[in-house]
Amino acid sequence: MATINLAPETRYVVEQKRQRRVLFAISLGIGLLLALLWGALFATRAIVGGRLTETTNRIATVETEIAQLESVAERITLFEARTAALKQLTKTRLGWDPFLKEIERLLPASAVLTTLSVQGHEGAVQLTGVTPDLDLLAQALASLKDQTGHATLFSEASLRNATQQTAEAAANGLSGYLFNLKLTFDPLRLQLGQ
């Protein structure tokens, strides 16, 4: 018959085996935990490495696009500089639209202008033309002057000369009186930048 030896040394050996198994299980658990942690770190490194490569490629693409757009940006900068320079130049440039509209509006319809000479910065205009009715021209000339209650562009308007056309000029289709007008105005009123 089998007997159980419960000697203190036997218990010690059994306890040692049990402790070794517990230590082995704990070591195995720690090893598995470390392996899982290492695997997770390896996977994270691979993901971060992939993203880093993707980001590097994007940066390279953007740098290429920037290099291609530098010439466009330079052209835009030069265009803006030219626009600013033109804007500065137009501040002192005279706009003739109001001037010509005023003459067209106030001269009689039967008058035909043959020459127009303008000294813009001096504010003087010489007009020559032909009209069949000198009285209508005189009335229009009076309305060209800037008066109280009737503001026009011109500060002074005067008829310098009026002569009757010759038969030769009448044969060319110009009949009536040849006239010469002088008009004065303030050039600052025609400046576009004002």
Q: pLDDT tens digits, residue range 152-168? A: 677 777 788 888 876 66
Across all residues in the chain, what is the average pLDDT? 80
pLDDT band at 5 (very low <50, low <70, confident <90, very high): low
Give 172 or 18, the one with higher predicted confidence: 18
Report the C-alpha gap between 46 and 128 in whole angstroms.
90
Q: What percent of the chain has pLDDT over 90?
A: 23
Task: Please give the angle made by the CA atoms of 77, 81 and 84, to the nearest 5 degrees.
Answer: 140
Look up tokens 């050039």; give the residue. Answer: 187
Does the pLDDT at position 151 exceed 50? yes
Q: Identify which of 182, 183, 179 has the alpha carbon closest to the alpha carbon of residue 134.
A: 179
Mean pLDDT of the 59-86 span:
87
pLDDT over 60 (residue 194): no
What CA–CA distance (Å, rounded) separates 171 from 18?
A: 141
CATH number of 97-190: 3.30.1360.100
Could you give the CA distance from residue 168 to residue 166 in angstroms, rounded to a whole number? 5
8 Å CB contact between 192 and 89: no
Name the H helices within 93-157.
Answer: 97-106, 134-144
Side by side, the strands of the sheet bearing 124-131 are 112-119, 124-131, 177-185, 154-164
Q: Are residues 131 and 179 in contact, defined by beta-carbon separation less than 8 angstroms?
A: yes
* C-alpha dist (Å) from residue 166 to 115, 124, 176: 18, 29, 9
Q: What is the band of 142 on the pLDDT scale with cuts at 50, 70, 90?
A: confident
Is there a contact between 83 and 145 (Cβ–Cβ < 8 Å)? no
| pLDDT exceeds 60 at position 10 | yes
Least confident window among 2-11, 117-126, 155-164: 2-11
Mean pLDDT of 34-49: 93
Mean pLDDT of 107-122: 80
Q: Which residues pair with 147 in a beta bridge?
A: 150
